[in-house]
Amino acid sequence: MAATDKTPILKVEGLQTSFFTHDGEVKAVDGVDFEVGANETLGIVGESGSGKSITSLSIMQLVESPGKIKGGSINLTGEDLLKKSKSQFAKYRGNRVSMIFQEPMTSLNPVFTVGHQVSEALRIHKKLGKKDARQEAIRMLKLVGIPAPEDRAKRYPHELSGGMRQRVMIAIALSCDPELLIADEPTTALDVTIQAQILELIKNLQESSGMAVLIITHDLGVIAETADKVAVMYAGEVVEQADVKTLFKRPLHPYTKGLMNAIPRHDVDMDELEVIKGTVPSSAEMPSGCRFMKRCPYASEICETHPSLATPTHNYGVEDDSGAVRCWIYTEEWDTATKKQEVQ
Amino acid sequence: MYIFIIRRFLQLIPVIIGVTLVAFLIIQLIPGDAAQVMAGEAASEEQLEQMRENLGLNEPLYVQYGTFLADLVRLDLGQSVRTDQPVMELVAPRFWITLELAFWGLVVAVVVGLLGGILAATKQNSYRDLGTMMFAVIGLSMPNFWLGLMLMYLFSIELGWLPTSGWGDWQQIFLPAITMGTAGAAIIARMTRSAMLEVLGEDYVRTARAKGVKERLVIYKHALRNALIPVVTVIGLQFGYFLSGAVLTESVFSINGLGRLVVDAISQRDFPVVQGTVIVLALTFVLTNFIVDILYRVLNKRIEIN
Amino acid sequence: MTTPLFETKNLKKYFPVKGGVLNRKMTDVKAVDDVSFAIHSGETLSIVGESGCGKSTTGRAILRLEEPTDGEIYFDGEDFRKLSKSQLRKRRKDIQIIFQDPYASLNPRQKVKQILDEAMAIQGVVPKKDRPARIRELMEVVGLRPQQAERYPHEFSGGQRQRIGIARALSVDPKLIVCDEAVSALDVSTQAQVLNLLKDLQRKFDLTFLFISHDLGVVRHISDRVVVMYLGKIVEIADKKSLFDSPHHPYTRALLSAIPVPDPERKTERIVLEGDVPSPMNPPSGCRFHTRCPFATEICKQEEPELRTAGDMVDGHQAACHHMEEIVEQYGKTPSVQE
């Protein structure tokens, strides 16, 4: 499990990424902090528009115009990646930090063979010759469980199934033995039986290489299964952070709670799903206080002030300090504020 | 792949038959008596009869068409009614000149068009993009002959760098090639730009960047290979237009090509020559399309499955 | 037993595959291959399976949006396949379909009220003067404000658009609504809203649903009975409780065990299926699942298993597996989850 005592592999602090559109600035990621250690998996969970994917693209510096990283720092084993020049960072990308994406069907270039695409990163970063890179690419394809890798290396992406293509993506990402793997919804486009295979594969590869994994998903089931730690994102912010067991045992933030009760489960009967009312506010109508306020069943006057992500000190059961939550309920101020309301 | 080529080749057969049929009918469709039209008002009855006999106009239509096809297979396109030379001998040398001219025009169109399109797409909405696209609009709307005359005035007459007319020397290639290629370059540039913009937004381009591929390679290798797929079709079509559109350029630069030949033949009502030219041009057009289809297929591995 | 509202027998839908020099038909993709089931009035029947199993094609074939290759379809006692084009058009009002992407099926140039009005006008179910009132009513029923009927589809969020799709389906008083992955594109919180809405509407208007989905969680929540499909065939059919508590077909068991449970404390004993789903163009001989099945034996390669009821199966529970008795005996009733 977590090896938190060492320097983290990835440490993100105060990350801000905005899109500058005709209608003004859209703060897609607004002050996000987290860290992942070696051999550790951090899951970022959230719905569409939460900023989870933009967070991962920001780490890879793949945010496209009109998006821009506005502030914060992204440290990879102590080096701030945002301070590197473009050409310096290109040496990290695909080498020390790698990424796999949601759409295996479209993430591979249709006009090059699978073998070519896997060996490309090896030729760039490991400076391997054509022949050696090809050998190594075939070894990688074998490692990710592709049957008959010598033959598959000569194939074009459209000749492979979705699950196979995602394996190829993983082979590309892991070819240079990265310290950090970012997986952005790696199984969302796949069928469940294939999803099970892919998640298993990532886990096994992590065990043998000790890399840090950042997994981004909307699926709490995938989180529960793969992550050691979880960050829940809502409207560009982390609203709750905890180790995975704590989070699922006692979710604190009203949004996290709502999310958990909204999933129809295949393993238990639920009569009525709990519903989070309304939808994520657009950037124009984003409340200045707590961003979840308008959808929150507990919202009170104090929520007009923006809460910070802090260790809960009030109103929760178990005594432990592993998590953090962005909600007034778990602060001293909540008691005074609500008492005041009761008096009035 | 081979199956595809064979199938595509079989599809050519009806097209070729259609083309020959249309060319054959040119003579039949001349209003009035074709022999009369060709021989002129002053021709005597014997002359007319002789002309009909020579052209085979007295036979039933299907026999005429059969003879026509049989001759065609032997590369016999008949004889000019003006000079009595075999049409083939008239057409062949000029065809090579026109082909050469169209080739250089295409080189200009492709090189300028691709570069312009890529430059514009990689900096969308910048001044570079705007400037390139403005040139494209101008290039497209400028009449061919006028551009030729302007180029000739500037480079030949004012600056004296290049010859005004003729064909054969390498210096004589530049001006006609630019004249011909400009409109094509504009079309290809616009096409390349939109294809590149689409491809640059694809997931696999992001994957290439995520691998650490340098931006230059991302564009010229990963993106361009895919963007070329629709552009190739346009390029093939351009070549066809160049062949048939060579008339104007050839006139401006006094090049003795196929265009000139056909213009002269029409004005002299030398219909066998017109017919021969039409057939040669049409067959070249069909063949070009055939090659483009195969190229398209080679570039786009995905079609193979469908 | 009462006659079902809907019934299909031996439904087949093959798509020809062309190829070769002359582009002649080479073979068939057997997307739906001999499928029979019935839906009773007021119930929700779900078809669940992975991509390529034929669930969506089944949905379209029974509506004759794609003409079935073979088989019988009865709706309300009437032979649905014998209807002429114009008769079919009239009958369409009784069976409505809701798609995954409501935006694609809503005309972007029409206001919501026009969309609803048009649906009613085509079927001639509501006289023109009563339609505005009916539109207001429909908007409220699906949880939108009546004033929002003045807006265009693009002004709505994904969940709201799906509500419009539902309103349109309801506008003609259908007897059966087919939901083809109707909530798959929605976020969890919106999905819950739409699922609850569908359940409410069913209670209120006594609706019958055919629910097509790949998500077993959603299926468990919404269904009364469930059909599991694999490569164009039904492998198991059962009432919800039996299917989730005592699945008999090894594919159903594997499917259930493959879903990640949102609870890190629960250990899942997973039946990991090797490889991919084979091509429906050239399905495996015998039992179509035998290439991926951990329990397959010689007989599975040769003989195609029929849907049948084993000793302890109740309420019309059927599965198509040669070995289901042994599997259930050996591995217990619930395959996946252990506390």
Q: How far is A146 from chain C (nearest CA, A)?
A: 9
Q: Taking 70 as the threshold, does the pLDDT of residue B147 lie above it?
A: yes
Least confident stretch, A135-149, A316-330, B80-94: A316-330
For chain A, give the percent of residues with pLDDT over 90.
68
- For residues A169-179, average pLDDT: 94
Chain C residue numbers with beta carbons less than 8 Å from the beta carbon of B3 are: 19-21
| β A41-45/A10-21 pair status | unpaired
A343 assigned to some structural domain: no
- For residues A286-313, average pLDDT: 91
Are residue C165 and residue C190 in the same domain, yes or no? no
Mutation target vs A (from C145, C184, C259, C334; most A CBs, 10 A cutoff): C259
Angle at A267 between CA C32 and CA C250, to 5 degrees: 45
Q: Taking 90 as the threshold, does the pLDDT of residue A267 lie above it?
A: no
CB A33 within 8 A of CB A14: yes
Are residue A192 and residue A259 in the same domain, yes or no? yes
Chain A residue numbers with beta carbons less than 8 Å from the beta carbon of C50 are: 191-194
- For residues A293-307, average pLDDT: 92
Q: How many CB atoms lie within 10 A of CB A2?
A: 16
Q: Taking 90 as the threshold, does the pLDDT of residue A168 lie above it?
A: yes
Q: Taking 50 as the threshold, does the pLDDT of residue A206 lie above it?
A: yes
The Cα C222–Cα A270 span in angstroms is 10
* Domain end call among A147, A175, A203: A175
In chain C, helix, strand, coil percent, each to 5?
A: 35, 25, 40
A307 assigned to some structural domain: no
Instruction: Mark yes or no for CB contact B210/A93 under 8 Å.
Output: yes
Whether the CB of B159 is below 8 Å from some CB of chain C: the reply is no
Are residue A51 and residue A194 in the same domain, yes or no? yes
Task: Please identify which residue in the block is written with the tokens 């238990």.
Answer: A268
Are residue C314 and residue C167 in the same domain, yes or no? no
The Cα B191–Cα A218 span in angstroms is 39
Q: Could you list the residue range(s) of the whole structural domain that residue A133 is in? A: 108-175
CB A252 within 8 A of CB A323: yes
Whether the CB of C24 is below 8 Å from some CB of chain B: the reply is no
Are residue A184 and residue A83 in the same domain, yes or no? yes
Are residue A3 and residue A136 in the same domain, yes or no? no
Whether the CB of A224 is below 8 Å from some CB of chain C: the reply is yes
- Positions of chain C with pLDDT under 50: 336-339
Question: A114-135: per-residue pLDDT in tens?
Answer: 999 999 999 999 999 999 999 9
Task: Please identify which residue in the block is written with the tokens 């008083």.
Answer: C173
Q: Taking 80 as the threshold, does the pLDDT of residue B188 lie above it?
A: yes
In the predicted model, what is the mean pLDDT of chain B? 84
Mutation target vs A (from C44, C187, C255, C274; most A CBs, 10 A cutoff): C187
* Domain end call among C160, C189, C223: C223
Least confident stretch, A52-56, A266-270, B39-43, B227-231: B39-43
For CA atoms A306, A312, A313, A316, give the dihedral sign. positive
Q: What is the CATH number of the domain that holds C191?
A: 3.40.50.300
Are residue A54 and residue A89 in the same domain, yes or no? yes
Question: A29-87: per-residue pLDDT in tens?
Answer: 999 999 999 999 999 999 888 999 999 999 999 998 889 999 999 999 989 999 999 88
Are residue C147 and residue C207 in the same domain, yes or no? no
Beta-bridge partner residues of C33: C12
DSSP run (H or E) holding A240: strand A237-243
**CB-based burial of residue B148 (10 Å sphere; 0-12 exposed, 13-18 middle, 19+ buried)?**
buried
- For residues A145-156, average pLDDT: 91
Identify the pLDDT of residue A32. Answer: 95
Chain B residue numbers with beta carbons less than 8 Å from the beta carbon of A60 are: 210
User: Which has more confidence, A252 or C2?
Assistant: A252
- For residues B139-166, average pLDDT: 82
Q: How far is C187 from chain A (nearest CA, A)?
A: 6
Are residue A203 and residue A74 in the same domain, yes or no? yes
Identify the pLDDT of residue A61. Answer: 94
Q: Taking 60 as the threshold, does the pLDDT of residue B304 lie above it?
A: no
Q: C-alpha distances in angstroms, B23 versus A236, B14, B18, C205?
A: 69, 14, 9, 71
Q: How many domains does chain C have?
A: 3
Q: How many domains does chain A have?
A: 2
Least confident stretch, B194-203, B266-275, C247-256: B266-275
Q: How far is C109 from chain A (nearest CA, A)?
A: 23
Identify the pLDDT of residue C339. Answer: 36
Are residue A188 and residue A263 in the same domain, yes or no? yes
Q: Which of C111, C147, C184, C145 lies closest to A278 in space, CA to CA?
A: C145
Buried b (16+ CB within 10 A) or exposed e, C271-288: bebeebbbebeebbebbb
* Residue C276 tokens, joined: 């991919």
Cis link prior to C250 (omega < 30° from 0)? no
Q: Could you list the residue range(s) of the whole structural domain that residue C280 is in? A: 245-339
Q: Taking 90 as the threshold, does the pLDDT of residue B42 lie above it?
A: no
In chain A, helix, strand, coil percent, each to 5?
A: 35, 20, 40
With bands split at pLDDT 50, 70 and 90, how would you rate the model's confidence at B302?
low
Are residue A181 and residue A271 in the same domain, yes or no? yes
The Cα C277–Cα C51 span in angstroms is 9
A91 assigned to some structural domain: yes
Are residue A226 and residue A203 in the same domain, yes or no? yes
User: Which has more confidence, B202 or B73?
Assistant: B202
The Cα C217–Cα C212 span in angstroms is 13
- For residues A266-288, average pLDDT: 83
**Subunits touching B (CB < 8 Å, at least 3 pairs)?**
A, C
CB C172 within 8 A of CB A242: no
Chain B residue numbers with beta carbons less than 8 Å from the beta carbon of C20 are: 3
Q: Which of C249, C331, C332 lies closest to C287 in space, CA to CA?
A: C249
- Could you give all domains of chain B from N- to C-terminal order, each with its CATH number? 2-76 (no CATH), 93-268 (1.10.3720.10)
Q: How many CB atoms lie within 10 A of CB B75?
A: 9
A196 vs C157, C258, C264: nearest CB: C258
Are residue A193 and residue A203 in the same domain, yes or no? yes
Q: How far is C18 from chain A (nearest CA, A)?
A: 18
Beta-bridge partner residues of A30: A16
A34 assigned to some structural domain: yes
Are residue C69 and residue C8 in the same domain, yes or no? yes
Q: What is the CATH number of the domain that holds A278?
A: 3.40.50.300
Are residue C336 and residue C274 in the same domain, yes or no? yes
Are residue C179 and residue C30 in the same domain, yes or no? yes
Question: B72-114: per-residue pLDDT in tens?
Answer: 888 887 777 777 788 888 888 888 888 888 899 999 999 999 9
Identify the pLDDT of residue A318. Answer: 59
Identify the pLDDT of residue A59. Answer: 96
Are residue A57 and residue A142 in the same domain, yes or no? no
* Residue C146 tokens, joined: 């009546």
C208 assigned to some structural domain: yes
Whether the CB of A257 is below 8 Å from some CB of chain C: the reply is no
The Cα B212–Cα B214 span in angstroms is 6
Task: Please identify which residue in the block is written with the tokens 């009502």.
Answer: B269
User: Which has more confidence, B275 or B171?
Assistant: B275
